[in-house]
Amino acid sequence: MRAIASILYWLAAVLITLGAFGHGFVGVIPIREAIAASSLPPSVTRPLWIVWYGTSLSMITYGLLLFWAWPALHAGSSSRSMPALIVGAFYVLVGIGAYVYSGRDPFWLMFILIGAIAIGATWVLGSPRNALTA
């Protein structure tokens, strides 16, 4: 069970981290085109870019928090589990909200899944080893 949780935990950490690059380099393309085609003033577009790239930086930060928590979780300690659980919960909540708000765009289900994986794997890895075999 711990081996599966380890694989899933790493999958979530890598996907969250790489998601920042998808967001910042690929997802931005249609946004950049739409803003260029608009007549929005810089006082509107500059904050949009700040938030856009701030979100990418946040995603990198979330991934790094999962990597930071890994050594303790791998050792069976829950001492660093709270940041990983918070990141997972954030992804689940954002995924649910975005799924509903977007009119049920299935893309957002990926956020729910990644968050649930992060929470579940963190819970398994942070549990004492003998608690999982009983």
Provide the mean pLDDT of the chain. Answer: 95
Residue 134 pLDDT more than 60?
Answer: no
**Full-model pTM:** 0.90
Measure Cα distances from 87 to 45, 52, 63, 112, 133 in Å. 28, 19, 9, 11, 27
> With bands split at pLDDT 50, 70 and 90, how would you rate the model's confidence at 132?
low
126 residue type, one letter: G
59 three-state secondary structure: helix
Residue 12 and residue 53: Cα distance in Å, rounded? Answer: 21
Other Cβ atoms less than 10 A from the Cβ of 66: the count is 25
The pLDDT of residue 49 is 96
pLDDT tens digit sequence for 44-99: 999 999 999 999 999 999 999 999 999 999 999 999 999 999 999 999 999 999 99
In the chain, pLDDT over 90 holds for what percent of residues?
94
